[in-house]
Structure 1
Amino acid sequence: LHDYWMYRNDNAFIKNKLVGARGILDFFSKYQQADGSVKNTPYWAFVDWAGNMGSGPSGSDGSAAIYDLQLLLAYQWSAEMEAQIGLKDLAVIYNQKAEQLKATIQRKYWDEGKKLYADTKEKNGYSQHANSLAILAGLVSDANMQAVAHNTLTDKSLTQCTVYFKYYLNQAMVKAGLGNDYLSWLGIWRENIAIGMTTWAEDSSLETVRSECHAWGSSPNIEFFRTVLGIDTDAPGFTKIKIEPHLGTMTNVNGVMPHPAGKVAVKYALKGSKWNINISLPQSTTGVFVWKSKIYPLKSGVNSLVI
């Protein structure tokens, strides 16, 4: 719902669905303990087809980092929507609940020695899943970001994300500043192609997977535009546009992304020691271009830069 709010100018639809979002948060709030941590939620607590994530990790207190982090993100997203198009008093409550959860997660699961978030309070298991969401939820400090991202990406003792949860893993690594490596993270998708598949499988066990056309394995379909070309929303309704490319070793790249008001077109070409950059934004939109930490304002229509 939050994604739709950020990418489509359709507040009437979102406002109509906020009632349902409130009901979902109310359901999970009933399983929150005094410190905000979620305990013993009913039904199938599936996270991913990996390690103990299929049935869900659980500590001796009935809680686990992954569920606390999911609820934290839900409170954060709902607070943003309620503050702008819903009930402002609810936004205050959701923000308070989010702050409580952030403190609890940091206290219960952070392992200073490993520079990682553990799956449970016992700190006897770690996963890419929990640490990816910790980065995305804003828990990781600038001082620890490089270490957490490096450990999450390279420590093979962690429970590894399968193809669908790599959507969050890769987003977290981009947020941590590693986006120029994105094309090197696509091994499982290259394996799909190598065995003759033309759509993406449900999970990473390609020899036994039964669903060979599964939407949740298709994250490169957006990340080629959002991460590589760098085109992303910077305000609800995509009314502001942020362009921050992660080209890796590529030196001549272009593409077009649909937008509610038209199209966003970008072209990057390295000529000698200078980048020739052309960006076209739809009418009635503005944006920024981010290149090596420097921000350049963008206007509607054609923008040309030589950097």
Structure 2
Amino acid sequence: MRYFITLLAVFSLFITNPVHSQPDSLRANSPWNAQWIAINNPLDKGTGYGVYYFRKSIDLAGKPSKFIIHVSADNQYKLYVNGKLMSIGPARGNLYNWNYETVDIAKYLTNGKNTVSALVWNEAQYRSENQISLRTGFIVQGHSSAEEVLNTNNTWKCVEDKAYQPVWGYFVAINGQNMDMNKTVSNWNSPTLDDSKWPAAAGLFGGQPKGLSDGFGYILQPSILPARELVYQPITLVRNATGIQLPATLKLPLTIPANKKVIILLDQTQETNAYPTINFSGGKGAALSLGYAEALYDRGSNFKIKSNRNDVEGKEFRGLTDSLTSNGGAGQTYTSFLFRTYRYMRVIVQTADEPLVIDSLYGTFTAYPFKAEAKFNTDNKEIKQILDIGWHTARLNAFDFYFTGQYYERLQYIGDARIQALIAFYYSSDDRLTRNALNQMDQSRLPEGVTLSRYPTQGTQIIPT
């Protein structure tokens, strides 16, 4: 009897507190008018590694006060309006609970011509363990008839960017990227780009929200989570450098002479989750790399010992790396698709016959937008330091679900998520990430009724308790 009452209470939590609601203008329980779209290439089946750009331009008679669209993609997208980053998503889920983000893009729209563009990527077999996938796809649905002008169909255009190649390595969280600037599609998100030669995108199938009696592909649901925080975060503290003399604070722009190898170790002073961006010019044929490490290893320890994490002398760097090749032009830019976790960033530049200029280098911090509402007053500085470190750690492990290990795994384990949720409840009244965790662990159940140890995940792991 006690088991039955407990089970009934758990189910009532989900029944009496629904966390999803379709907006009325989307005609709940009705198919979307928008289609999932992809590149129009019969040889591209949508299941391999690929990076794609989508664009559509519209004319508006005036600047709207609001313009709401619903956006999703597989694996992930970055949405731009007139060249400005508007949204990153979707929050991860599974095929029967595939999230879409709701975005009001009005603030970046203008009177006259407007261009909406999106970067969509599929990392295929190289993707994170937390990324469930069917195939490459992108969808936009207008919230009402006025916004349906942006519905995805073959009026959108799409090209593939062949500049990117995956870097294989066993990081459950993410892998690095290789990018050859000689092959990239420049200015793809610029509203002034002439895209008249871009081919039309191919329609795949219609958008299907939860509640339909029949469905194929992705069963769409509105994400219950707010947009993740994005904050500019410079990294300027130089810990050491070889091949060049530098002050303790990095001054940019910085010119690397021709036929020179330079290694710069930068220190964020604490661990962060951020999208690194490097802008550079010249240096045709130069090789650049950005490496990311949460700490350095003791030299000679076979990369097994991390002692004092503030020390860099007598240490070795090992970590996830992004590699770039310069095309020699001005205004080259790279930003990672997924955020990187690091305290230390190692920049290596090997120039060829031309000097290269690093114009700017910075991160964009990202996390679930928790606000610390609680306060703990004490004169004990050590307790305050412990609390500050703990809250910082909690924030680094909260994104579109609770992470266990943002550097190595980025997986939501039910036992760890419970502790993280309790920490969040002490600090904040925002319970949405915890509701999301409850939903996802419930969705992970096997036919026998047993939950997986972690979710979302591609594989099956059960940890008996």
**Bigger RCO of structures 1 and 2 (CA < 8 A, at least 6 apart):** 2
Same fold (TM over 0.5): no
Q: More helix per residue: 1 or 2?
A: 1
| TM-score of the pair, normalised by structure 2 | 0.21
